[in-house]
Structure 1
């Protein structure tokens, strides 16, 4: 019974934890601009994150070692450093966006400007990273994130023309006023939002922290292959709500309040309160995960003690990294930069950094010296190589599309 409970808890946590500020903003923007015509990218991204999360989780469970530790050893310091720099830049951008997202969520229920809230959010995130148990960060905030199911309920209550909504799933149903360059830009952004690198770092490092073994592979795979796709359905619901309410009016989504507006229209004040709770849980949980990922990455590469199960005195470097990155994130936000703009930039650069993140995982997952009989099979390798090609194409296209479309404005 305990094992079944662990599976259920993990699935629910994966559902609630799948959506972060990048998914919230990007899916709503896409729904408002392009309707449901990019849902196929969400599906592509969900399958992709499942493939690579399963590989990284299997590596952690079998080798009992973390990602950057193995990457440096297997591919050498040079490749490891390139991987570290690329992933750290994206993770820091995401960390800044998530802290800003928490502040924006709290702004919705207060009369305070989000800049006044940022310092308190940063302190709260740091305290949780310093003192809270790993399971509390992962499970409590993930379960609270299930409040975002309100988007699915709201979509039903808005009563869209379901036939029209389903027909809009075709890429050919892109609104005629939008260019194909804009369509491609938002496709890359949506793909980057679904496959942010920190998710893999946090997932595999968490496996090492919780001392997964090969006996835990079944539970891990259930969490990945059931939880993430169900979380992806929340992303589709967010896009569907925006497509139903905003697309016919030609209204673009520019604020977090607009992301939640369809829920308020459909479900009233109670629904809005529930979805704001979901906003807070999703962004605060993701802020904790990205913050931990910065510490995991640097500590693992340089080889000093790390993790929530190591006493702070014994992992001083790890905790100093968490403190410094939190101060930097808050400092950037206090310059007045728009958290939504940071979010938009972070999902694009997430797509740019993805090949650097996932290629080493694919290499290690095929190495019998680390995984023995648990190396990739034919299906895992076929999917891994396919996604490496897709990730490379998205990475090469991301910045040119960002320039050509002026971040989707053109």
Structure 2
């Protein structure tokens, strides 16, 4: 019994690996460079919101032994409404996740150019090829172990870089605890939230929890996994913001990507900063190249009624399409910053839509005593409300209406 209760990182580590991609590194770097420590509170909110929603997702997967997509399909009885929802989720996953995948691979390419001794044009193909080989094995346990290793590698790399920069602790604590919205920061706030509370992770988490745990009695294990892995991912994001704030904010330096951050730190701290940044970005690039296609396959397989087994032909076809589109987007020569910010803002806009479905299915009778409590519903509604407001403001800001 003691052995069964021993903690080990699991599906929540996949979620952390998914939201700490190169897009997150670039977005967090830009937030720190342009606004210092002022937006760190947005990451605190993001981590709390992620934990609230991912707990619902994990509980749904463990109790029903099905993913979020399957639960949405089962909960909607009217055929026309079911088809409409399937169409909306299909569009959101294909468009949103393809751009998200492209943004992450673009971020890896931009960050690793100049940090590794080979031509940057091959980086998307290398990352895409590695991801395809790993996913093609068709083993959830293998994918889980690799992603846990990548999360730990990112933790070491980015936290080491953070320690080297010797941050302003007073300003850091103020940024964490006192919300502020500097002029011109609203899109960056939405991007920070969109890069952490990723809607596709709700599908990924429910399905992966159903793979790992088979009984509601194991819900405590799933929750422990969330309470450790998600804050660890948030800590990595905070470290990146603080590193960029220490190196760039208020100084006569410009930053266009994560590579600039590594190169600016090099004169102060030597090759260590460059090495840590390269390792972190490579881990982030590979992790996002794995999780975005996997989440897409779980989401679409669920709502379309396909098998969610990793070796199933239709399941493989979905992740291969998303992975291929992502590699192509990253290889087109588009400005990576614009692709990444667009992807993160798109996530922020899509989040309320997916989150509302999650809260709804977590109130369905099939969950029995594990349905949402009134406290969980209130927290979920608050997250949906705030996410909707921020998404609306980001659209208004993008079109110059504010």
* TM-score normalised over the length of structure 2: 0.89
Shift of 1:165: 3.8
Shift of 1:148: 3.2
| 2:9/2:148 contact within 8 Å kept | no
| 2:72/2:357 contact within 8 Å kept | yes
Per the alignment, in what secondary structure is the counterpart of residue 191 of structure 1?
Answer: helix
Aligned length: 395
> C-alpha distance in 1, partners of 2:162/2:200?
30
Q: Which residue of 2 aligns with 1:399?
A: 395
> C-alpha distance in 2, partners of 1:218/1:59?
13
Of residues 108, 119, 122, the one that matches 1:113 is 119
Structure 2: which 5+ residue stretches go unaligned?
A: 77-81
Of residues 291, 295, 302, the one that matches 1:293 is 295
Of residues 158, 164, 170, the one that matches 1:157 is 164
- Greater shift in the superposed pair: 330-339 or 214-223: 330-339
CA RMSD of aligned residues (A): 2.6
> C-alpha distance in 2, partners of 1:172/1:295?
37
Pick closer, same or farther for the CA change 1:331–1:157 going to 2, 3 Å. closer
> C-alpha distance in 2, partners of 1:138/1:15?
12
| 1:30/1:186 contact within 8 Å kept | yes
> C-alpha distance in 1, partners of 2:164/2:371?
47
> C-alpha distance in 1, partners of 2:12/2:323?
29
| 2:204/2:299 contact within 8 Å kept | no
> C-alpha distance in 2, partners of 1:172/1:195?
18
| 2:359/2:380 contact within 8 Å kept | yes
Structure 1: which 5+ residue stretches go unaligned?
A: none
Give a deviation string over 1:341-364, Cα, whole Å, max 9, x none.
211110000011111111111001
Instruction: Tell whether 2:63 aligns with 1:41.
Output: no
Q: Which residue of 2 aligns with 1:22?
A: 23
> C-alpha distance in 2, partners of 1:253/1:53?
33
| 1:66/1:208 contact within 8 Å kept | yes
Q: Which residue of 2 aligns with 1:217?
A: 219
Q: Which residue of 2 aligns with 1:84?
A: 90
How do 1:152-301 residues align onto structure 2 when only pairs under 5 Å count?
Answer: 152-169=159-176, 180=183, 182-261=184-263, 264=266, 267-301=269-303
> C-alpha distance in 2, partners of 1:388/1:163?
32
| 1:23/1:190 contact within 8 Å kept | yes
Q: Which residue of 2 aligns with 1:144?
A: 150
Instruction: Tell whether 2:319 aligns with 1:322.
Output: yes
Pick closer, same or farther for the CA change 1:402–1:153 going to 2, 3 Å. same
Pick closer, same or farther for the CA change 1:263–1:130 going to 2, 3 Å. farther
Pick closer, same or farther for the CA change 1:213–1:253 going to 2, 3 Å. farther
| 1:53/1:200 contact within 8 Å kept | yes
> C-alpha distance in 2, partners of 1:219/1:266?
43
| 1:103/1:114 contact within 8 Å kept | yes
* TM-score normalised over the length of structure 1: 0.87
Shift of 1:79: 2.6
Pick closer, same or farther for the CA change 1:132–1:268 going to 2, 3 Å. farther
Pick closer, same or farther for the CA change 1:203–1:173 going to 2, 3 Å. closer
Give a deviation string over 1:216-241, Cα, whole Å, max 9, x none.
21111111122212221221111111
Instruction: Tell whether 2:387 aligns with 1:386.
Output: no
Pick closer, same or farther for the CA change 1:284–1:32 going to 2, 3 Å. same
Q: Which residue of 1 aligns with 2:332?
A: 335
> C-alpha distance in 1, partners of 2:280/2:62?
31
